[in-house]
Every structure is written in C-alpha cells, then in structure tokens.
Structure 1
C-alpha cells in the first residue's frame, strides 16, 4: 500500500466515513520502528484500526422505541442547542444538513491508551511543524481513568444538550470482562466540534484490568444509537504492559 500523504492522515484522524481497510498487525509490531519514528501510515492505523481503535457503522433511530407522550424536545432543532451552528456536514464550504442521517460511521477507541496518545501527539507535532521536543508534552501524562472515546457521532444526536448525552453515558455504558466482571463509568464528557459529537466515558482504574481478563466488551445505549464492541486484551499489550 502506498504511504498516505499528510492530508490523507488528517482525513483518517478526523473522518471515520472516509477510512480505507487496513490489514491487521500483530500486537508486538506496533512499536516497530520505535516511537517517535512512526510513519504516517502507522499513526493512522493506531487511531483508526488497531487493538485500541475499532470502526463501526451504527443505525440512527430518530423516533422513540417505546410509546410515550410526545415532547417537543424529542425533535432535533428544538432543544438547548437549537440555535447552535454545527457547521458544514463535510467540514468545509457547504450548506447545513437538511435531513437527518440514517447511519453514522464512528470510532470506538481507548483515548487513554499510551499508543493512541502517542499517535495523536505525533500527528499534531508533524501537522503543526512543531519541534520534536514538544512530542512528550503533547502526549501528556497517563490518564487517571480508562477513557473510552466514541468519535464521529453526528452533532444532532445532542439536540437536547450535551448534558443529556453525558447522563446517558454514565447510565448505560458498561464494560464487561470475559469472566463476567462488570465495570461502570464514574463520569462522562460530551464535546461538540462543528458537525461532530465526541463522547468520552471514564471508567475508574481502581477496578484494574489484567491480561487474564482475556477480553472486554463495551456497550451503551444513547437512545438514538447503540453500540457494542469487543477488545482482546492480549492484543493490547504495548511495551510489555497492558495499555488501555
């Protein structure tokens, strides 16, 4: 496969709908060559299609699944963000959406995992033409929580406000190990950027995950969309330790 251009990497980091298939790689190969000597292709793979990042197309249901009295706030465009400019649906010059999407191409990834943080830092350093000495600062310190990032959700999903999305995340998102242990989030953040909503779900590290847990399944129900994704822990080893 030809090495992607910097523009192509930018698209991969910011637009899940435009990703191309990439072959799977063994877990022990992710730091070859050693960080920070990664190619643009490796950066793109780590954040979009790796043991720490999964792509998923989810259906969007704009009508309630259960019968209940109609509320105007159920309709996108009438809630707290009704007058908030969401920007162009394609990220450039254009008109806003005139109809609601039926599906969304999202990324489900561990934003707290060291390789993901390193890949994002390398992209920002190269894209901004910053001095390589800035890479460590851009990578940042380890997160105090396991942070699951749901990226690429249409902004209209938060038509009742980001607070409602955060409440749904805390109430519905769970992490279950292959041995049946269930871990619930302690908090969540929902961020609107242009036409995209990013949801960050924080799970406490006080309930530590270990390789012997084998696999974790993360799932959640945001009413308009649902997701379920599995991560194999043995593939998430990085520099000799489990990274989430």
Structure 2
C-alpha cells in the first residue's frame, strides 16, 4: 500500500484542482498519469471510496468496554498507537473514536496500475520495473480496507481476519450474495491493511448494476456501494 494517508491524499487533490485535472486517468493512457490522478484513483474513484468510520467501544447492551475487551486485546505489554511493535515502558494507548479509511478493489487493474506507478515514482525506479510492480492478476476479487488503527489487532491479525470473514457480505442489486473465501490482515505501519477475498466463480457483470459490501466488525461497521457501470477500464469491467 502506498504510504499516504487518506486525509493527505484528499488535501493534495484539492491543491491540484485548479491545475491539471486529477481525473486525467480517464483521458490519458497508462502510465501517462499525473501524481494527482494516481492519488485520486487510489483514494476517491469508482474503485476506491474514502470514509470516516466511528468506533463504538461498548458491548452489545451499551455497557462500556474495558481495554481487554477490544477485539484482539491481550494482557501483554501495552503498545503506543504510533508503533505497532511497541517498546519497553510504552504507555497504554488511547482508544481512537474514529479513523479515516479507504475501501477499494485492490484486484482491479486500474488500482494495480496506480499502486505500481506510485511505488515506481516513490522509489525512483526505472520504467522497466513497472510491469513487475503491477504483478499478476489475482484469481479472486479482493476488497481492501486500509486505515484501521493497528490497535484493533493487539492479539494478532488472525483474530481480526476471523471476525471479518464471519461478518462481511457482498451483495449485488441483481441478487448475487457472496461471502469471503478468505481474509488477510497485514500490518502496514500504524495501520491495518485488511484484504477480503471473494470467489470469481460466479462473475459480477454489468447486469448486477451495484455492489454493496457490509460488515459489522464488532467495534466498527463498514457499508459501501460501488456502481458497476462506472468500473469500466480499457473497455473491460474491472473489479
């Protein structure tokens, strides 16, 4: 995941709005995209939705949670939110009340193109490295939730993955109802990168019209919609 926050990316897009249009990915062939176009595609596009989620640190029944009730919390050394690896004498972290996140289709080719361009430019790599950064297409649909604080995974990422797998649904307006085939939860700095896999065995098509993804992940909820007809790229439906 490119190391740029949702808030920073939105600010950069606003700063660039008076110059080159951020959405030049619509009219310019890859890889001839501006920096703003790359950020827009990764953070606010038909494949990527920025959201602020609010955390509810209460049990069902409105009773306050203690620190050990946080999904994934344990009785080990406390870790500061700024460092998921922690340290000796680290203070008890403060539970955040919200987080800016991005919900996006990591498996979609335009998102893979934008991530590859971002990494190439960030690392000042030669153009010949671009194809390797794009990588091979994923056999699954992969929905990425990026920006959840690492504090949520104090007992380990497997705990979070199990909760996400049990709670997330993908539904389309035409009636498809998919459950995750598997979930990966990766630590990325102070954030979690949650990658939810859905089978392509029954492919999503234009007739599905809209994709809705919902999930009650104990301390926060995810609900996002994607318009299928807007997810065309290079003449193909890309999800």
TM over 0.5: yes
Query: How far does residue 98 in structure 1 lie from its aligned partner after superposition?
Result: 4.3
How high is the TM-score relative to the length of structure 2?
0.84
Instruction: Pick one of 192, 212, 215 that aligns with 2:210.
Output: 215
Change (3 A) 1:61 1:72: closer
CA contact (8 A) 1:76 1:156 kept: no
Residue 166 of structure 2 is aligned with which of 171, 178, 197? 171
Aligned equivalent of 2:6: 16
Alignment of 1:118-197 (within 5 A): 118-197=113-192
Query: Gaps (5+ residues) in structure 2?
Result: 18-22, 85-89
The count of corresponding residues between Structure 1 and Structure 2 is 223
SS at match of 1:14: coil
Q: State how far apart, in whole Å, the 1-side matches of 2:34 and 2:169 are.
A: 34
Alignment check: 8 A CA contact 1:87 1:96 kept: no
Aligned to 2:41: 46
Taking a change above 3 Å as real, the CA distance of residues 177 and 75 of structure 1, as seen in their structure-2 partners, is: closer
Shift of 1:189: 0.5
Q: Distance in 2 between matches of 1:76 and 1:182?
A: 26
Which string of whole-angstrom CA distances, capped at 9 and with x for unpartnered residues, describes residues 67-109 of structure 1? Answer: 79x88741479517755665359xxxxx978421111111000
Stretches of structure 1 that go unaligned for 5 or more consecutive residues are 1-9, 90-94
- Corresponding residue number in structure 1 for 2:224: 229
Question: Residues 152 and 197 of structure 1 are in contact (CA less than 8 Å); yes or no, is this contact kept in structure 2?
Answer: yes
Please list every run of at least 4 consecutive aligned residues from structure 1 whose deviation after the TM superposition is greater than 3 angstroms.
20-23, 28-31, 70-73, 75-78, 80-89, 95-98
- 1:241 and 2:236 correspond: yes
Matches of residues 25-174 of structure 1 in structure 2 within 5 Å?
Answer: 30-66=25-61, 73-75=68-70, 78-79=73-74, 82=77, 87-88=82-83, 98-174=93-169
Q: Distance in 1 between matches of 2:76 and 2:189?
A: 12
Cα distance change of structure 1 residues 201 and 78 upon mapping to structure 2, 3 Å threshold: closer
Aligned to 2:20: none
RMSD of the alignment, in Å?
2.7
